[in-house]
Amino acid sequence: MKRIRLKRKFKIKNSILIISLLIISLFLSFKFINLKVNPILLDYANMEARKLSSIIINDAVSKNFESINVDDLFIITKDNEEIKSIDFNPIIVNQVLTSTTTLIQTNLKYLEQGKIELLNLNTDALIDYNTDKLRQGIIYEIPSGVIFGNSFLANIGPKIPVRFSIVGDIVSYVNTNVTDYGINNALIEVNVVLDLSIQVILPFVTDKIDIETSIPVALKLIQGSVPNYYLNGLQNSPSISLPIY
């Protein structure tokens, strides 16, 4: 009887020891994944999410601004042929910004849901992507071998799917940059700035990234009145005022 009891106690102790070792091993494994593996995978995921978002944004901006005449974007006020002020045409600018923002948000939502057949994109915009994976909502697959940091092992192991979800609304506005150009002239550069947030989703971790993109959409040269005298190293500034957005 004593031998049977000793064997049972030994088995119980062994079971407790094995369970304890398993718990400790799992804890250390999750800690290693959180400290070493997840940051590497998130770097790859964030890079791909930014790349795909840039494709969507650039495509939408080019579509909405390619048919716009640059001169129609500005309202120029003159006094005896001298330029007094330059302002944006608010109707056209607001229309283009609204349509651009709506198209970007719609396409990102369709990508998130895997509805790529509904995307309003140029035919070759997603030529480098696997359409079958995109239909599953997967924008990229990271080879698990990249965690070793070795080029020979980078493509081995199972692939980790990357998904994303757009967070909140997209904010868009127009930014201008005015620089002197030649004698009493000014070169106006118009940029569309878009701010958006995306949630990158991996099997074990998620991360929110903020994306700010500035895309030049128009260049306009404004010629001011030429001064009677122009000395080397001395140049009159053009009389131009632009609103700050």
Q: Are 205 and 42 in contact (CB under 8 A)?
A: yes
Q: Are 143 and 155 in contact (CB under 8 A)?
A: yes
Specify the pLDDT at position 235. Answer: 37
Residue 223 has pLDDT above 80, yes or no: no
CA distance 44 to 112: 18
How many C-beta atoms surround the C-beta of residue 237 within 10 A?
Answer: 10
pLDDT digits (tens, 9 = 90+) for 117-145: 898 887 788 888 888 999 999 998 888 77
Residue 236 has pLDDT above 50, yes or no: no
Specify the pLDDT at position 244. Answer: 34
Q: Are 45 and 208 in contact (CB under 8 A)?
A: no
Q: pTM score > 0.75 for this model?
A: no
CA distance 11 to 110: 57
pLDDT digits (tens, 9 = 90+) for 86-115: 777 888 888 888 899 999 999 999 999 999
